[in-house]
């Protein structure tokens, strides 16, 4: 009976782990596939950018201009990345399978460790019943 409890718990945890991995994979693929729709976000990145109101008085105008120019220069790069992101959906799938496999392997190893612990526990119990005088003296 203890073996069934250990392996039932392992299989329940494996089912929960699989459901979690599937859900996170779905969210990840959905996010990557829809990242191309954010391409318009980079259009006004450089000119409309401002420091927060509490920080603006402390920042020199030259630094503000340099940061705005850097954002304007990076806008095409970010735009290209957002449009290339849907191609990464396959990588998300491979990563999800890899993470799921590692987690599943750890759960199975947990089941094997529980199984081995039950074997040791039962062996000690049977030795204690067979030779009660030696177990008392050894303990």
pTM: 0.61
**What is the full DSSP assignment across 45-92?**
TTTT----TTTGGGS-HHHHHHHHHHHHHHHHHHHHHHHHGGGGHHHH
First-to-last C-alpha distance (Å) of the chain: 28
pLDDT (tens digit, 9 = 90+) per residue, 44-96? Answer: 555 566 788 888 889 898 888 888 888 888 878 877 777 777 777 888 899 99
Name the token pair of 11.
């299989």
Please tell me the total count of domains within the chain: 1
More confident call, 19 vs 38: 19
Average pLDDT value for the chain: 84
Range(s) of the domain holding residue 112: 2-138
């Amino acid at each position: 009976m203890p073996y069934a409890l250990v392996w039932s718990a392992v299989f329940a945890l494996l089912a929960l782990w699989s459901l979690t991995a599937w859900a996170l994979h779905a969210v990840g693929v959905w996010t990557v596939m829809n990242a191309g729709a954010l391409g318009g976000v980079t259009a006004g990145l450089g000119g409309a950018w401002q420091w927060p109101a509490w920080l603006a008085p402390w920042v020199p105008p030259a630094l503000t201009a340099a940061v705005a120019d850097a954002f304007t220069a990076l806008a095409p790069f970010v735009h290209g990345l957002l449009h290339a992101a849907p191609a990464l959906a396959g990588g998300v799938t491979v990563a999800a399978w890899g993470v799921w496999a590692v987690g599943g392997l750890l759960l199975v190893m947990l089941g094997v460790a529980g199984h081995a612990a039950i074997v040791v526990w039962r062996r000690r119990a049977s030795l204690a019943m067979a030779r009660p005088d030696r177990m008392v003296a050894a303990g």
